[in-house]
Amino acid sequence: MDNAEKNKTGIWERFRQAWRRNPLFSTGVALIVMIVVQTLALTMNSSFASFGDWFQNWLFNWISLLRNNSAIGIIALGMTFVIISGGIDLSVGSVYVAVGAFTMMLLDTGANGWLQHIGLTGAPAILIALILAMIFGGALGECNGLLISYGRMPPFIATLGAMQILRSVTQYFMKLESPTLPESYKGIARLSIGGQQLMPILYWGILAAAMYFISRQTTFGRYVFAIGSNERTTRLSGVNVRKVKRRVYALTGFLVAVAAIIQTSRIGSMDYASAGSGFEMDAIAAVIVGGTSMSGGRGSVVGTVFGTLIVAVMNNLLNLIGVDPYLSAAFKGAIIIGAVLLQRKDKA
């Protein structure tokens, strides 16, 4: 009896300790709670004939949830590195729209299509367009990186400038264009597996795994953490801090390009004025909810995936229980604030 009591408090105590010490643990618990509530809401929302019926409904709900959030999930992976390195990237939404427009102009099946113009069509054209789009995204990120590392600009300001410039220039160049994409390009995201469009989820999963590996096992990944925690010490340890910072932004640009490719392929078009706007805030929110410290040095890729899912599941939940869409941003805001309050470390 006495022993059982002790054991109980032991588990509770261990839970509390893990909650406090490991930000991944608390985010994970929060995610599980959200998922339970979401599943309950889904179950009560309508009546199901059988378990199979329920399961199919549940599964389809999840697939569409993951697919709809894959683009922001991929961008948030890059943002994680940026924030761990002690920076911020506000330009992701504009890079997204710029890369989207660039890719569509390359592949336009109309008279103005760049690749068509030089006689490239079909699969080779798509392959080249993909490579160029990723290089373009990386290069735009590299510009941010150069301004920040060699121009010694605060990341907030450099990327705020880039955000304005890129969207405005994209809109200017695209005002008379209305590119149409070749059908085969749309297969990149729409290719169906077992009757479901799973490709975007697959890309997100692969990139998340790759970024996790990079963050833990490579010199670059560990340098990102070191710089965010103590840039001076890192430089005095012989690390080329500027190069690492530059690469962080280039990597983010590359990931944004991947997100842009997936979305253009899924949707087939892009609204240059509004596409990707707010992505920077959504990505930052996912990273913060995932337990990464805004001041740099601490955080994780897994946390960001959890963070992206928490926000996504919450939106899904609001949808399921029929909350007015106008209020969804309020809930998102509350989640961000709540998450950070929970993650606060007890000070002395």
Partner 1 sequence: MTLKMRNIYKSFGANDVLKDIDFSVEGGEICALLGENGAGKSTLMNILGGVLPADSGTMELDGKEVQFSTPAKSLDAGIAFIHQELNLVNDLAVYENMFIGRELKRKGGFLDAPAMIEKCREVFKRMDVDIDPTAMVRDLDASYKQIVEIARALLMNASIIIMDEPTTSLTDPEIERVFDMMRTLEGQGVAMVFISHKLKEVLAVCTRYTVLRDGAMVASGPVEGVTVDELATHMVGHQVRTESLRQERELGEEVLRAERLSGDKFHDVSFSIRAGEVLGFTGLLGDGRSELFQAVFGSGGRYHGQLYLEGQPVQVKSTTQALSLGLGYVPRDRKENGIIKDMDILENGSIVTWPQQARLGVIDWGRVREDFQKQREGLKIKMDSEKDGIGSLSGGNQQKVVLAKWLNADPKALIFDNPTQGVDVGAKEDIYDTILALAKEGVAVVVLSSEAQEIIRLCDRAVVLYHGRVQGELMGEEMTDQEIMRLATGGEMRERVESIG
Q: Does 226 bind partner 1 (CB under 8 A)?
A: yes
Side-chain-facing half-sphere of 226: CA atoms under 13 Å: 19
Q: Does 25 bind partner 1 (CB under 8 A)?
A: no
Task: Give, to the nearest 10 degrees, the angle between helix 199-217 and helix 241-267.
Answer: 170
Contacting residue, 159, 234, 292, 300, with partner 1 by CB under 8 A: 234
Contacting residue, 178, 180, 217, 274, with partner 1 by CB under 8 A: 217
The nearer residue to partner 1, 241 or 258, going by C-beta atoms, is 241
Among 88, 89, 86, 77, residue whose Cα is nearest residue 227: 86
Q: How many CB atoms lie within 10 A of CB 17?
A: 11
The nearer residue to partner 1, 248 or 261, going by C-beta atoms, is 248
d(CA 284, CA 76): 7
The nearer residue to partner 1, 112 or 218, going by C-beta atoms, is 218
Contacting residue, 87, 100, 228, 290, with partner 1 by CB under 8 A: 228
Q: Does 225 bind partner 1 (CB under 8 A)?
A: yes
Q: Give me the least distance between CB of 228 and partner 1, in Å please.
A: 8
Q: Does 230 bind partner 1 (CB under 8 A)?
A: yes
Q: Does 267 bind partner 1 (CB under 8 A)?
A: no
d(CA 298, CA 9): 30
The nearer residue to partner 1, 21 or 117, going by C-beta atoms, is 21
C-alpha gyration radius of the chain:
22
d(CA 333, CA 101): 31
Q: Does 298 bind partner 1 (CB under 8 A)?
A: yes
What are the φ and ψ backbone dihedral angles of 197, each rounded to 5 degrees?
-85, 95
Q: How far is CA 304 from CA 77, 83, 84, 85, 288, in A?
A: 7, 11, 11, 15, 8
Q: Give me the least distance between CB of 219 and partner 1, in Å please.
A: 5
Q: Which stretch binds partner 1 (CB under 8 A): 172-180, 183-191, 234-242, 331-339?
A: 234-242
The nearer residue to partner 1, 234 or 304, going by C-beta atoms, is 234
Binding-site size for partner 1 (CB under 8 A) equals 22
d(CA 275, CA 5): 56
Site string for partner 1, 170-209 (x = CB under 8 A): ----------------------------------------
**192 in helix, strand or coil?**
strand
Q: Does 164 bind partner 1 (CB under 8 A)?
A: no
What are the φ and ψ backbone dihedral angles of 193, each rounded to 5 degrees?
-115, 120
Contact residues: partner 1, CB under 8 A:
217-220, 222-223, 225-226, 228-230, 232-240, 297-298
